[in-house]
Structure 1
Amino acid sequence: MSQIRNASDTTCKQLLRDGECFADLCNALYFHGRQVIKPEDLISQENDVSTLIGKEPLPMKMKRYRDIVRKVSINGDYMIIGVEHQSSLDKNMIIRILNYDAQLYINQVERGKEVVEISQSMLEGDYEKLRTNRTISVENYKMASILTHADIKEEDLPEGKEINMCKAMDQLFQRFENQGIEKGRQEEKRNTLKEQLKVKLGTLSNPLEERPTTTSLEKLNELTLNIFNINSKEEVLKIIH
């Protein structure tokens, strides 16, 4: 009887190791025959699901092996499919398998690490403390600018070895604001100049219309001073070239 059972186990395992047979079985059981799982999508996995149960210092090792374990991706979601073959009818098999899985999950939960308190503390605070006149060394300030990709220039750095963070950030934001205002003024000047050229010359060609965008501010100022003397596209290009 034992030889028959072993032969049956071996034959069943060989059959399920075949990708097409395994896929057909899963599609029949899980998807009513629809061809959701494809043989080429099946990936073999380690069938050793042994684990330790109980707590330190004397945990007990529980050895368990699944007959067949495959991983498959279904619509972008990964599934682990484990198959247990039973040579003879055993009504308690499903309970035994569920108990194996439950022991694995319990073991994972009990061995999970607690949340480190500092992760919670880092999220605490108030704006009053944030606005205090905290000082750091200039070297640390430079390092912070590198890590945050902030555009810190030498003129933003104070004299001495320490810097007031609140004052430094206010100065930095003010410089960024001034840069934005200046950039807006230059853009407005370019747009106004293009409108004036359209009035003088009519419709502008694409190269001529795009040229003020890449021309230096010095050339644009020169073009503005001569706008009333310009009568052709060539005269414009001669000035801003």
Structure 2
Amino acid sequence: MMDFKNLFDIRIYNYFLNHERLADFLNVVLFDGQMIMDTQDIIILDSSSSGVFLSNGQTIKRTRDHLLLVSLNGEQCIIGLEHQSYADKRMFQRIMEYDYLSYLRQYHIYEKNI
């Protein structure tokens, strides 16, 4: 049986693997449609993260739909995209987990290089 609930999310994920579409989308959302960002300004990063919650020792693995490294005027930022076909009241918690795991990974990389 087809999982129609997630079908839209999968199609949108694949749609935004195209850098031109990503640049257009980000220009509309971030710059009111002005063509500020170009395809060369976007790098798609590995979006899977895993780690252990320091508070309770629980091991978790999470994957954002898209994680982008964007460069503008010599500055870099990371943008995470999540595609939802329905309103999910728990989404804020998932975003916090993604961010926590990203920071934890950066911390471990930093510790290795000290």
Q: Same fold (TM over 0.5)?
A: yes
Match of 1:38 in 2: 38
User: Which among 81, 84, 90 is matched to residue 82 of structure 2?
Assistant: 84
**Hey, what does 2:69 align to over in structure 1?**
71
1:42-57 paired onto structure 2 within 5 Å: 42-54=42-54
Match of 2:100 in 1: 103
Query: What is the SS of the residue equivalent to 2:16?
Result: helix
Over 3 Å counting, the alpha-carbon distance change for 1:106 and 1:78 in structure 2 is closer
Say yes or no: does 1:62 pair with 2:60: yes
Q: Quick check: which one's strand share is greater?
A: 2
Q: Which amino acid aligns with 1:15?
A: Y
Deviations 1:181-234 (A, max 9, x none): xxxxxxxxxxxxxxxxxxxxxxxxxxxxxxxxxxxxxxxxxxxxxxxxxxxxxx
Q: Secondary structure at the match of 2:52?
A: strand
In structure 1, list runs of 5 or more residues that go unmatched: 114-241
Q: How many residues align?
A: 110
- Distance in 2, matches of 1:101 and 1:4, equals 25
- Structure 1 pair 6–108 and aligned structure 2 pair: CA distance change class (3 A): closer
For 1:64 and 1:22, the matched residues in 2 are separated by 22
RMSD: 2.9
1:53 Cα offset (Å)? 1.5
What is the one-letter code of the residue matched to 2:7? A
CA distance in 2, matches of 1:2, 1:8: 12
Flag the structure with more relative contact order, 1 or 2, with Cα contacts below 8 A and sequence separation at least 6.
Answer: 2
Structure 2 gap segments, 5+ residues each: none
Match for residue 8 of structure 2?
8
CA distance in 2, matches of 1:85, 1:60: 26
Where 2:49 maps in the other structure, the secondary structure is: coil
Measured after TM superposition, the shift of residue 31 of structure 1 is 1.5
Structure possessing the higher radius of gyration over alpha carbons: 1
Give, in angstroms, the shift of residue 102 of structure 1: 5.1
Q: Which residue number corresponds to residue 177 of structure 1? A: none
Kindly tell me: are residues 2 and 86 of structure 1, through their superposed partners in 2, closer, same or farther at Cα, counting changes over 3 Å? farther
Q: SS of 1:17's equivalent? A: coil
What SS is found at the alignment partner of 2:27?
helix
Q: Deviations over 1:70-93 (max 9, x none)?
A: 212111011111111112122442
SS in 2 for 1:9: helix
Aligned pairs for 1:1-241 within 5 A:
3-54=3-54, 59-93=57-91, 95-101=92-98, 103-104=100-101, 107=104
8 Å Cα contact 1:53-1:107 kept in structure 2? no
Normalising by structure 1, we get a TM-score of: 0.39
* Paired residue secondary structure (1:89): coil
Quote the sequence identity (%): 28
Higher helix share: 1
C-alpha deviations, 1:33-59, integer Å up to 9, x for none?
Answer: 12121112211211112222127xx83
